[in-house]
Amino acid sequence: MIQALASYWGGEYDWRTLETKLNALPQFSTQIDGQEIHFIHVRSKNANALPLIVTHGWPGSVLEQLKIIAPLTDPTSHGAEATDAFDVVIPSMPGHGFSPAPSTPGWDPVRIAKAWLVLMDRLGYDRFVAQGGDWGANVTQELALLEPAKVIGIHTNMPGTVPADVLAAAKSGAKSPVALSGDEQQAFEQLSDFYAKHLGYAVEMSNRPQTLYALHDSPIALAAWMLDHDKDSYEMIAPAFFGKPGGLSRDDVLDNVTLYWLTNSGIPSARLYWENKLDFFDIKNVQVPVGVSAFRYELYQAPKSWSEKAYPKLAYYKRHDVGGHFAAWEQPQLFCEDVRGTFRSVR
């Protein structure tokens, strides 16, 4: 697959196509807490649009969200109602893409969430909603914990719903300490498999991010490191380079890798794993209304039973038989439908 990727990347891929798409969007940068933050900000023509901040993850970027901008800001042109309109803010996390590497330590998900609060305030939004997956899920949940009066609802496609004893068993390779339903057992098996076989990249970045020199030295090393993120994502991406694209095309994949290469984001993005002190899947005690999208090929498909217990104000839950870790990028229509459904109750 990497040989096919390299052949297409070197011979046919055209970065200028993406460059044109990006340059057509309103983009800005601002200094927050000593850090330059890049962000896309698209206002809806609907005067009553709900402000929404969307946070990407790793190995992602703002490119993950490009397909959802038009459906969310201009819903009537995409089969939805005018009352579903959003003003969309999509920042680049520090060290990812157009937000440069932090010059000081300490930029963990909590500090990023605090920066997003400043950003939304500067944009004039005193009440807003938030969405995130992967690292963006952690940042989004922290937003709700920091300022529940301002962050009036959140949506996540990688929620923190796993009971503590079940999560501990999945991490250790033990059997579940409690009886599980069918959906819960499936989720437990996904988590156990992930922790046992597919966490190597995160362990390395959590402990030795600065020694991943190959990510700055070789574009092929960077591509291989980014694309072998989790087994289901890899199995979705690989066929695109053999003429069988699924949710993501060859250009989708290489747009993101090229952005990382051109902005030297390999090691700076890895540092977030070293900075982080939070878990991904544990319950965070979020008290604002929450929407959960449970895509089949996410790292784990969150059961409704766990979601109801984790989020006392669960406003929306949808289980999907398709879709994976990069939901906004891969399944934008389903993703937008879920975002709209989540936030109708808080408008």
Point out the residues that are catalytic. Answer: 134, 273, 325
Compute the distance between CA of residue 317 and CA of residue 314 in angstroms, rounded to an integer. 7
User: Is the separation of the CB atoms in 191 and 230 below 8 Å?
Assistant: no
Residues 86 and 49: their CA atoms lie apart, in Å, by: 5
Chain position carrying tokens 């694209």: 245
DSSP SS3 for 319: strand
Task: Tell me the sheet residues that pair with 322.
Answer: none
Query: Given phi > 0 = left and psi -120 to 50 = alpha, else beta, which region is 173?
Result: left
Q: Are 106 and 275 in contact (CB under 8 A)?
A: yes
Q: Are 53 and 91 in contact (CB under 8 A)?
A: yes
Sequence-distant (6+) residues with CB within 8 A of 284 are 141, 142, 145, 160, 310
Q: Are 274 and 284 in contact (CB under 8 A)?
A: no
First to last CA, the chain: 46
Helix (H, G, I), strand (E, B) or coil at 103: coil
